[in-house]
Amino acid sequence: MSSPPRRETLDVKRARRLALAQAGFLKPQWVGQPTRAKGSGLRARRAALTTIRRFGYLQLDTVSIAGARSHAIVLLSRIEGLEREFPEQLLERTDALEDQELFEGWGHEASWMPMELYPAFAFRREAMRSHSWVGPVLTEHRAMADELLRRIDSEGPLRSADLEGSGAGEWWGFKLSKRVANCLWFVGELAIAERQRFQRTYDLPERVLPTAALDASLTLHESLRLLLGKALDGHGWATVGTLADTFRLRNLRPQIQRALDSLVEGGQVVACDLVGEDKVTRGFVRPEHLELAERLARSRPGVEDVRLLSPFDPLIWDRARTQVLFDFEQLLEIFKPADQRRFGYYCLPVLAGERLIGRVDLKAERKQGVLRVLSKHVEDPDRLRWGARRRPLGLQDMERLIEVAVERFSRSVGLEVAC
């Protein structure tokens, strides 16, 4: 009998620094992550696409209370000099379909994703036809769906605002025609051509997506290998659960395990245990990232490199992982009543070097041109381990760093911090 593949090990420091590097925050030059691109031109687009390709997705979100939506904050936190509105304009029509580099799909929730991943989600588009709420909508309202397709075919693309009907009914109050259009998008009969003021524009897939993407055919096994590998590229080290949840790969446990086994057998992925003080957690890593983790372990991240993160940032959306790697409790309290919130409505964690040192709840007031700090919470400095070679930071040091992070963020969104 053949012996099982050898398992590598990483400690928490190496896994944390690897996660930061792959996310584009620590030693970005080592992983090819651009850090500056002025304005909204070709260089800015290339920088944004490089970031999106690293993770395989840019999660979309409607909340803009902090001065920018989550997908913009993810890019603004990594790439200095971008125009404030530029991240909202990434999904746009190109003169030639073969030049289209992004599509909007259901990846990690609704996301903009690199076009090369479109064939990998064919299994999801097909599965959506029998989904518990997509399937019934298209079955019960097939005549409306066919009429909507005919109208778009003959009249051209339609904005979601152009769809007729009342807003009454279930499904977040969406009007029926919008529900039908969304379901057609879920199953691939419609595509999102662009967004204007965050409003979707629906069109036929053959008028939005390159023929090569539409015609490509991948098996489920091939799709899972591609998606799990892409997820691992964004995380560095990760558990099976984190990898699966990156692209919401649910009810596919046996297929996921077979895909991971084949990646290990092919040498693209290595089984790797995360060794903590009192727990060993099984996971996976790219073999080349083990060497990177060792290089990073010998580096000395500077705490002066501070920035605010979106609560949906790829680095921290997995709350259990964030707790393990950063000893930081990541909470999203949008849906809690105000009197039950511990930190605030839409808190942005503060990253200083390799540590999450606090969080701020912000409110942008565009008409006044200001950004208000509604609340600020600083982590207990005694809990943070700064390393033997570094002087531990005190509470005042951390508060100063948070002020610097807020100032940096305010400039990126074109506002001034209110005194």
Q: Out of 102-111, 245-254, 382-391, pick the least confident.
A: 382-391
Consecutive H or E run containing 21? helix 12-22
pLDDT in tens, 172-211: 556 889 999 999 999 999 999 999 888 999 999 999 999 9
pLDDT for 167 equals 58
CA dist 97 and 350 (Å) reads 40
- pLDDT surpasses 60 at 169: no
- Is residue 239 within 8 A of residue 283, CB to CB? The reply is yes
- Is residue 218 within 8 A of residue 122, CB to CB? The reply is yes
pLDDT in tens, 76-85: 999 999 999 9
Q: Mean of the pLDDT values across residues 205-218?
A: 96
The tokens of 394 are what?
């005190």
pLDDT in tens, 321-347: 999 999 999 999 999 999 999 999 999
Q: Mean of the pLDDT values across residues 356-373?
A: 97
Parallel, antiparallel, or unpaired for β 270-275 and 8-11?
A: parallel
Q: Mean of the per-residue pLDDT values for the chain?
A: 93
CA dist 75 and 310 (Å) reads 10
The single-letter DSSP state of residue 104 is E
pLDDT for 301 equals 86
CA dist 114 and 79 (Å) reads 18
pLDDT for 419 equals 72
Which residues, 6+ apart, have CB-to-CB distance to 60 below 8 Å? 69, 70, 71, 104, 109, 110, 111, 112
